[in-house]
Amino acid sequence: MVVQLRQLSSRKGKQQVAKDYKFLLQDLKRAEKRAQEKINPDQKLSLCMIVKNEEKYLEDALKSAVDVVDEIIIVDTGSTDATVEIARRYGAKVYFKDWAGDFSAARNESLKHATGDWVFVLDADERIPDEYKNNLRALLVPTDQPISYLIFIRNYMDQMHESAMLGHYIVRLFKKTPETRFVGMVHEQLYPNWGQITIPENSFYLDHFGYTDAKAKLEKSENRNLPLIKKGLEATKDNNPDLHSFYAYYMGASIPNSTRENIDEKKDWLKKAVSFAADVNDTPHVPLAYTEYLNSCYYAGDFEDGVQMAEEAQEVLPAIKNYPDFLDIYASLLIENKRPQEALPLLHRSLDLKENKPDDLIFFAAQSGRSGSWGTYYTLGGAYALTAEPEKAKEYFAQALEIYPDENKDKLLGQIEKMTGSTDIAFNHFKSRVEAEEPRAYDMKLLSNIYLKKEQPFEAILLQTNLHGEEKALDSALVLGSLYLKSQRFELAQKVYQGILSLMPESIPAQLGLSIAELRLSDSQPDIEKVETCFSSCQTVQDWMALGDFCLQFGLLEQAEKSFEQVTSLDSEHYDARLYSALIYQEKNQIDQAVASLKSLIESFPEQAAAYTQLANLGMVFGRFSDAEPLFRHLIEIEEADWYTHYGLGVALSGQERFEEAEAALLSARQQAPGRTEPDNLLALIAQAKEQAPQP
C-alpha cells in the first residue's frame, strides 16, 4: 500500500493523494465490515443497478445497501454528472452501455457481470430501511430453483408522508440462473419467473422517493417511458398478450383525470388492458386496471358506469374482493349513487383485510396508504352519516382522525366538519392531545381555532397564551375583540375582553373594549365623567388609541381629538391617529382641514390606502366626482384593490354620467364581493337612467 501511495504522489500531486488516501481508508473499513459474518454467508448477493445522472439519489441508495450485499454492479447508460464517481466511492464495479431505449437490455448487461448466487435490484431513488437489512439476507436460502421474491415498494408522493403513499409489489430479489434475464423494453419483467414468493410488507419493503418530484416524474413518463410503451404495444400485440395488456394498462394509468377527453381515453385503455390479458386471474395489473377505471369514473361523476364496472370485475376476477383499494373506491361509487347501505360491508371488509389476511389476498396490486386505514374509516363515517347513524359516523370519523399519518390534519378536519356540520370530533381529538403531558404546538393551535369556531374565545386565549406567551397572545386577543366589535358580535367581544382582563386586569384597551360591548348590548351611552377619568389612566400609545377609538364610536369628538393628539405627541408619524384626526375634522364640518390633513398623510405614506379612500369619499360627499376618480384609480394601480375600491370608482364615474365605464367598475366590485348589494343597486339605477335618457 505504501508503494501504491508513492506512485500516486508522483503521478497526481499532493491534493489528489489526500483524496485517494481518504478513499483508500474508506475501502479498508468497508472491507472490514464485509468480512464480518452475515446471515447466509455462503450465498453471495449481487446488487445490480442501472443508472443515468442520478447524483441526487444514488449515494443514499448505496449507503442503505453497501453493508448487506457482497458486490455492487452498476451499469451506467450515459451519465454526465457525478454518478460514476459516487458509485466507485462505494466500491461498485461500474460498466458502461449506451442507452438504446431498452431497459431490459441494460438490466441484462448488469446480470452479465454479476457473480452472485442471488441478484438484488435497486433503483437509485430507492432505499432499504435500516431495520430490515438483515431480513433481506434471511431470504437467501440455498436452492437450485429459480425463486424470485415479490417485494413491497412504498412510493411516497410527498416526502415520507404515508397519507400520500401508494404501494405495490414487484420482483426485486431472485436466484440467478444461466437462463435468468429480463424481457420488455420498459417496465421490464423477469424470466423465468415461476417461483414467485410474496414477502409481507412487515417483513421487508423498500422506500421509493422518485415520485416526490412531480415535475421530474412527468418528464420521465412523457419523454422516456411513453414512447417506449408505444413501441412495446406494437412489438407484443401478436406474441405476448400479458405484456401487451400491461402496456395498455400503463398507457391508461399515465393519463391524468383532468378533462373529459382524457378520462374517456384513459378508460378505453384500461378496458383494453383487461381484454388483452390471457388470464385475468393470473395477471397482476388487471386488479389495478379495474380499480383505476373506477377512480376515473369517480372523478368524472360517472357513478353508475363505475358501479357496473365494479360488478363486472367481481364476476370476472373473484379475488378482487380481497383488494382494499378496489373495495374502497367501489364503496365510494355506491355512496355517490345514494346506496350507502350497500357500501358498508365493503368498507368493513377493507378494514378486516388489513388485520386478517386471507390466502388469496391480492398482494401484488398497488396499495394506497389510505385504503384499509384512515381513508376507509373516513368513508365509513360518511356512509353512516348518510344512513342516519350519527353516533357510528362520529366513531369512524374520530378513528380516521386518530390514525391519519401526517401531522397536518387541516384538510381532513375540514372534510369531517363539512360532513357532520360540527367541530365536536376534532374538538375531542385535539383536547385529549393537548391534555397529554407534552402537547404539541400544532395541537394547541388547532384546538384554539376550534374554540373560536365554538364561540369560546376565552379558552382560545388561554391556549394562545401557552403557545405564544402572554404578551403576544393578548395582542392577538385585542385584535380579535376589535374584529368582533366591527362585525357587531358584541356578546363574543364581551367574552374576549373579559378573558383578557382576567389575565391582565390593568389593560386599558380591554377595559374600553368591554365597555363598548356592554354599552352596545344595552343600547346605552357612556358616562362622560367616567370617560374623563380614563385620561389619567392612559400611558401608552396603545392606551390613547383605544380611548380615542372609544370616544369616536360614541360621537365624543372633543375627547377623541384630545386622545389622538396625545398619540401624535408620542409618535408624530402614527398613521391611524392622523387618519382619525382627519375624520374628526370632517365630522366637525371643518372640510378644508380634513382635506389638508389627508393630503399630508398621503404625501407621508403614499403606499397606504386608507387616506386615499377617505379623501375620495369626502370628495363624493360634496359631489366632486372628478376629484374622487383618480384616487380610486390610483388605489387599483398600487394594490390589489378590494370590492369597495371598484365600487367607489363606479360611483365616481356614474356621478359624471360615464355609465359604460361605471358599469365595468361595478361588475368588478360584484365579482369580488358577490354578497354585497351596493353594486347591483347602483347598476339598476344606471340602467334606469340610460332608459330615461333622451335618444339622440
The Cβ of residue 78 has, within 10 Å, a number of other Cβ atoms equal to 12
pLDDT exceeding 90 applies to what percent of the chain? 49
pTM above 0.75, yes or no: no
Non-local (6+) Cβ contacts of 623 within 8 A are: 655
Q: Can you give the pLDDT at residue 483?
A: 87
Q: Can you give the pLDDT at residue 233?
A: 80
Q: What average pLDDT does the structure give for the chain?
A: 84
Q: Can you give the pLDDT at residue 240?
A: 79
**Cell numbers describing residue 74:** 452498476
Is residue 242 very low, low, confident or very high in pLDDT (cuts 50, 70, 90)?
confident
pLDDT exceeding 70 applies to what percent of the chain? 88
Q: Can you give the pLDDT at residue 92?
A: 95
C-alpha span between 20 and 27 (Å, rounded):
10
- The amino acid that residue 384 corresponds to is Y
**Cell numbers describing residue 169:** 409489489
Q: Can you give the pLDDT at residue 21?
A: 41
Q: Can you give the pLDDT at residue 223?
A: 56
Phi-psi region of 161 (alpha: psi -120 to 50; beta: other; left: phi over 0): beta
Q: Can you give the pLDDT at residue 576?
A: 94
**Cell numbers describing residue 150:** 415479490
C-alpha span between 230 and 244 (Å, rounded):
10
Is residue 10 very low, low, confident or very high in pLDDT (cuts 50, 70, 90)?
very low
pLDDT tens-digit series, residues 437-490: 677 777 788 788 888 888 888 888 888 887 778 888 888 889 888 988 988 999
C-alpha span between 454 and 424 (Å, rounded):
9
pLDDT tens-digit series, residues 324-343: 889 999 999 999 999 999 99
Q: Which of 3-7, 180-184, 285-289, 327-331 has the lowest mean pLDDT?
A: 3-7
Which comes out higher in pLDDT, residue 480 or 369?
480
The Cβ of residue 623 has, within 10 Å, a number of other Cβ atoms equal to 10
As a whole number, mean pLDDT of residues 408-427 equals 81
Q: Can you give the pLDDT at residue 238?
A: 79
As a whole number, mean pLDDT of residues 502-510 equals 90
Q: Can you give the pLDDT at residue 366?
A: 56
Which comes out higher in pLDDT, residue 495 or 689?
495
Q: Is 64:127 a contact under the CB 8 Å cutoff?
A: yes
Q: Is 155:138 a contact under the CB 8 Å cutoff?
A: no
Which comes out higher in pLDDT, residue 562 or 425?
562
Q: CA separation (Å) from 70 to 40, 109, 295, 584, 621?
A: 11, 18, 43, 85, 87
Q: CA separation (Å) from 97 to 79, 100, 432, 525, 666?
A: 11, 9, 59, 89, 67
pLDDT at 364 over 90: no
Mapped onto helix, strand or coil, the DSSP state of residue 167 is: strand
Q: Can you give the pLDDT at residue 19?
A: 37
Q: Can you give the pLDDT at residue 299?
A: 92
Is residue 694 very low, low, confident or very high in pLDDT (cuts 50, 70, 90)?
low
pLDDT at 607 over 70: yes
C-alpha span between 426 and 414 (Å, rounded):
9
State the Cα torsion 658-660-666-672 to the nearest 10°: -140
Q: Can you give the pLDDT at residue 221?
A: 52
pLDDT at 22 over 70: no
| Among the listed residues 151, 208, 206, 200, the one whose alpha carbon sits nearest the alpha carbon of residue 174 | 151
Is residue 159 very low, low, confident or very high in pLDDT (cuts 50, 70, 90)?
very low
**Cell numbers describing residue 414:** 375540514
